[in-house]
Amino acid sequence: MGSATILVIDDELHIRQFLRAAFEFEGFTVQEACDAEEGIRSATLKPPDLIILDLGLPDRDGSSIITRLRSWSNTPIIVLTVRSSEREKVRLLELGADDYVVKPFGIGELIARAHATLRPRLATTPANDHVVRVGPLEINLATRSGTIDGERLVLGPKEYLVLEILAQHAGKVVTRQQIMKQVWGGPHLDDTHYLRIIVRKLRKKIEVDPTRPRILLTELGIGYRLVR
Amino acid sequence: MRQDSYQVRQVSVRRRFQDDALSVLKSLLLVGITTIALLIAEQFFSLRHLILVYLVPVVIAATNLGMVPAVIAVIASGAATVFFFYPPIYSFLIEDPQHVVELLLFGFVAIVTGLLATNLKRQADLARRRETEVRELYTFSRRLLAAHTTSDIYTAIREHLASITGYRTILFEIVARGGGGVTLYTEGPVPEQVKRAAELLVEGHKGSGKGSVVEDGEGRVWLVRAIPGKGGDFGVLAIDLGLQAGKISDTIRKRIESVLADATATLERLDLAHALNDARVRSETEALRDALIGSVSHQLRTPLVSILGAATVISRAPGNSGDPRLASLVNILRNEVDRLNNDVQDLLDAALISSKGIRLECEWVEPSDIVNAAVDRRQRLLSGHHVLLDVSDELPLIYVDPILFEQALGQIVDNAAKYSHPGSAITIAARCDCDSIVLSIKDEGIGLVGEERTRLWERFFRGGRHASNVSGSGLGLWIAKAFVTANGGEIEALSEGADCGTLVSIRLQAKEPATRDLAVVDDG
């Protein structure tokens, strides 16, 4: 994993410089691109393992780059964004970005996200590959059941589905709409209180203090994240 | 055409006659019922001046059926009294001269009462109609004032005209074309014939307000008419009169014309041209403001990203990473970058509020999520305080814009941390109180004294006692209040006095999510 290549697409020289230094210290190989065109070219010529994309590039807006990259590549993308644009974040995540980091950020945060994104999607155990482990949680995809700290969880079908979706993206944010679409389908996309109620029930079962969750976290205005 | 209108007149005369005959029958029925009731009553006790009871059917007929049926009710009542009750019974003769006087008096009183009742009814109807009209006009003008784009204005006008005429309408916007011509623009599908008629109307006679009647392919009849404004026509209105056999009747057309004449006069008075222009300027200013805010925030924040990023990289660099002195320096930098970043956010929020540009994106939110986000985002600022959270896990969901609401709560928490001693407690609680949800933030800090109590929420207000040693812009609480109010909540601050701490409460009306299909979630 240490030899993974990271492509940084950012128009700010200073940001590229410190990102290069940081990732090289971590043992990554870093490629740089200063605009969208160069970024897309670079990603085509020498496909990286992870793309870090700053929004607000001079030549193209973030969503069109993601759409273009996603048309032929599955390389994970982490977006660098600002705090006040939740709707934009949701849109980018839905277009195929894997995660986001809010500027300004400490480098530790970005490196942690990069590691989470680079890990294989499901942390399955070699013996039985239908069991997903996320922290104290263990989810059995075959029997559609779960345990927490070894204790069996009694989950309703919708609760199980939500948990499974989050577990499959463990460590990464999943938007409300992505969950709503998979669990309830089209007509209920706007009825997000359904999801809130399910999450409340789930938290009562898996969290020590459901009002101060440590496992199933809310990303306000965006979605949920299951801590790895 | 002539034959047509003759037929139309024939039809309408016949219908009118039918209506009148029905009213007369109804009034006779009322008199009949009264007579039967009186005949039954007479079996049990004798009634003096029973003719007065007949005032009841007369007044009912006058208020509900009109004057002619009322007069007929008077005559019928007189006849019934003479026939059934005045001796000799079952004849139209009257023995007692007193009864003649009584009968004449009844006739006089009944007709006067009937007249008064009819008038009263008419006036009440008129008042009710006026009230509806005024209410509609009021809603309409409010929509005009709030309109942000020209299409908002056109939609408002179209809906207003549709509601007062009672028919489906299409409103064409006249858009000036380069080269002197005009094009017509409207949203949604329009029958080809109607569009052509509207174009002919605009090209033919400008400002004339004349109209034409066309039939579309499906047999629906449309009245097409120009709507005049102060500086020439500003639109063309097409009214769908529905499936009419042959030509539309003159009465319908006249009624619509008169309603439209009223409406267009109002539109002229409201100075639509001005409103349209305002809307255009407003949307341009808004775009400019958004661009400016975007660019300012980019310009101010980009250096912060490099500063914080580079500093944290240095502290993690091989050889440096274990050094506690470096870690503490990075911590200082981090706090300062956070502070600056929050100040930039405050400026942006302030710009947003001043331009009345708060756009809410409300959704159902778990109250504890808001509290947690506000606390987590300020972890470093709060690290010196004991933060106690007291949030019930049975609170109803709240319907707010989560980002703005979290920012509001965050500002209060910021203030609590800034104006209280390190090591003191800050308690953030969320509870239900009757039908509201109350979020409260309690500190053990400097409290409020004097004018601080009243001026706390003002923009740029900073309490004199600590302004010199605590940094701040004086925007935080003002922003908090604006965001809470925008979300339909109330905010207040209580303090017992200097150094007695402050309790800030945010109160929100509890609402219930629409419970349709709640079975969808009720599975475990």
**Closest chain A C-alpha to B354 CA, distance in angstroms:** 17
Partners of residue B517 in chain A, C-beta under 8 Å: 188, 191
Q: Do B524 and A106 touch (CB under 8 A)?
A: no
Interface of A with B in 98-117 (CB under 8 A): 103-108
* pTM: predicted TM-score of the whole model, two decimal places: 0.61
Task: Name the residue among B182, B150, B99 with its Cα closest to residue B276.
Answer: B150
DSSP A57: -
- Of the spans B93-97, B150-154, B250-254, B410-414, which averages the highest pLDDT? B410-414
pLDDT at B244: 63
* Cα–Cα distance for residue pair B149/B424, rounded to 1 Å: 52
Q: Do A107 and B369 touch (CB under 8 A)?
A: no
In this structure, of A46-50, B50-54, B160-164, B507-511, the range with the lowest mean pLDDT score is: B160-164
Closest-CA distance, A133 to chain B, in angstroms, reads: 23
Length of chain B in residues, anyone? 524
At B490, the pLDDT band (50, 70, 90 cuts) reads very high
Q: Are the C-beta atoms of B477 and B409 separated by less than 8 Å?
A: no
Domain spanning A5-118: CATH superfamily = Response regulator (3.40.50.2300)
H/E stretch holding B411 reads: helix B402-418
Chain B residue whose CA is closest to A214: B372
CA B50/CA B56 separation, integer angstroms: 11
Whether the per-residue pLDDT at B7 is higher than 70: the answer is no
Q: How many CB atoms lie within 10 A of CB B246?
A: 9
Q: Check A104 against B520: CB less than 8 A apart.
A: no
Q: What pLDDT, in 10s, does the model give residues B423-482?
A: 999 999 999 988 899 999 999 988 888 888 888 888 878 777 776 677 777 888 999 999
- Closest-CA distance, A72 to chain B, in angstroms, reads 31
How many CA atoms, within 13 angstroms, populate the side-chain half-sphere of residue B57?
A: 30
Nearest CA in chain B to A11: B302
C-alpha distances (whole Å) from B129 to each of A142, B65, B116, B264, B361 are 68, 19, 20, 19, 38
Residue in chain B lying closest to A195 (CA): B521
Rounded mean pLDDT of B311-335?
Answer: 84
**CB spacing of B524 vs A157 below 8 angstroms:** yes
Q: Provide the residue type at A228 as one letter.
A: R
A48 versus B348: which is more confidently predicted? A48
- Average pLDDT of the segment spanning B204-218: 65
CA contacts within 13 A on the Cβ side of B473: 19
> β-pairing, B232-243 with B168-176?
antiparallel
pLDDT of residue A5: 93
The answer to whether the CB of A130 falls within 8 A of the CB of A188 is no
β-pair partners for B194: none
Question: Comparing A35-39, B27-31, B298-302, which segment has the lowest mean pLDDT?
Answer: B298-302
**Alpha carbon distance B210, B252 (integer Å):** 16
Task: List CB contacts (< 8 A) between A188 and chain B.
Answer: 517, 520
Contact criterion met (CB < 8 Å) for B369 and A18:
no
Across the interface, of B310, B337, B393, the residue whose CB is closest to A211 is: B393
Q: Which of A107, A175, A183, A227 to mutate to test the interface with B (most CBs of B within 10 A)?
A: A107
Radius of gyration (C-alpha) of chain A in whole angstroms: 18
**Position B392 confidence tier, pLDDT thresholds 50, 70, 90:** confident
For residue A102, the chain B residue with the least C-alpha distance is B305
pLDDT-based confidence at B160, cuts 50/70/90? confident
DSSP string, B144-193: HHH--SHHHHHHHHHHHHHHHH-SEEEEEEEEE-TTS-EEEE-SS---HH
DSSP annotation string for A177-198: HHHHHHHT-GGGTT-HHHHHHH
Do B152 and B216 meet the contact criterion of CB atoms below 8 Å apart? Answer: no
**pLDDT-based confidence at residue B351 (cuts at 50, 70, 90):** confident
CA A127 to chain B, closest CA, distance in angstroms equals: 31
- CATH T-level assignment (fold) for domain A131-226: Arc Repressor Mutant, subunit A (1.10.10)
Q: How far is B391 from chain A (nearest CA, A)?
A: 6
Residue type, B110: A
Distance (Å, rounded) from C-alpha B188 to C-alpha A211? 48
Does residue A174 contact residue A165 with C-beta atoms inside 8 Å?
A: yes
What's the CA gap between B374 and B389, in Å, rounded?
Answer: 12
Record: contact A22-B391, CB cut-off 8 A? no
Q: What are the extents of the domains in chain B?
A: 2-127, 147-270, 278-354, 363-509
Q: Inspect the interface and report whether the beta carbons of A210 and B392 lie closer than 8 Å.
A: no
Q: Which A residues, 127 through 186, put their C-beta within 8 Å of a C-beta on chain B? A: 154-159, 184
**Mean local confidence (pLDDT), B404-409:** 93
Chain B residues within an 8 Å CB radius of A202: none
Band of residue B5 on the pLDDT scale cut at 50, 70, 90: very low
Pairing label, strands B211-215, B220-229: antiparallel
- Whether B313 and A197 lie within 8 Å, measured CB to CB: no
Quote the percentage of chain B above a pLDDT of 70: 83
Residues of chain A with CATH 3.40.50.2300: 5-118
User: Region B228-251: what's the mean pLDDT?
Assistant: 69
User: What is B363-509's CATH number?
Assistant: 3.30.565.10
Q: What is the DSSP letter of B379?
A: H
A12 contacts in chain B (CB < 8 Å): 302, 305-306
Please count the residue pairs, one from chain A and one from chain B, whose beta carbons lie less than 8 angstroms apart: 130
A 4-63 near B (Cβ less than 8 A): 12, 14-15, 17-19, 21-22, 25, 56
Instruction: Note the pLDDT of residue B3.
Output: 43
pLDDT (average), residues B49-59 = 88
CATH code given to domain B147-270: 3.30.450.40
Q: B492 to each of B394, B428, B440, B444, B508, how far by Cα in Å? A: 24, 15, 10, 17, 12
A contacts of B348 (beta carbons < 8 Å): 84
Nearest CB to A193 within list B306, B341, B364: B364
Nearest-neighbour CA in chain A from B392: distance (Å) = 7
Q: What is the ipTM of this complex?
A: 0.86
pLDDT tens for residues B352-364?
Answer: 777 666 788 888 9
Cβ within 8 Å, pair B316-A107: yes
Sorted by sequence, the CB contacts under 8 Å of residue B147 that are 6+ apart come out as: B153, B156, B275, B279
| Least confident piece of the model among A187-191, A199-203, B75-79 | A187-191
Spatial CB neighbours of A27, under 8 Å, sequence gap ≥ 6? A2, A3
> Distance, in angstroms, between B363 CA and closest chain A CA?
7
pLDDT digits (tens, 9 = 90+) for B55-111: 899 989 888 888 888 899 999 999 999 998 888 888 888 888 888 898 899 999 999
Q: Residue B348: which residues within 8 A CB-CB, separation 6 or more?
A: A84, B293, B296, B297
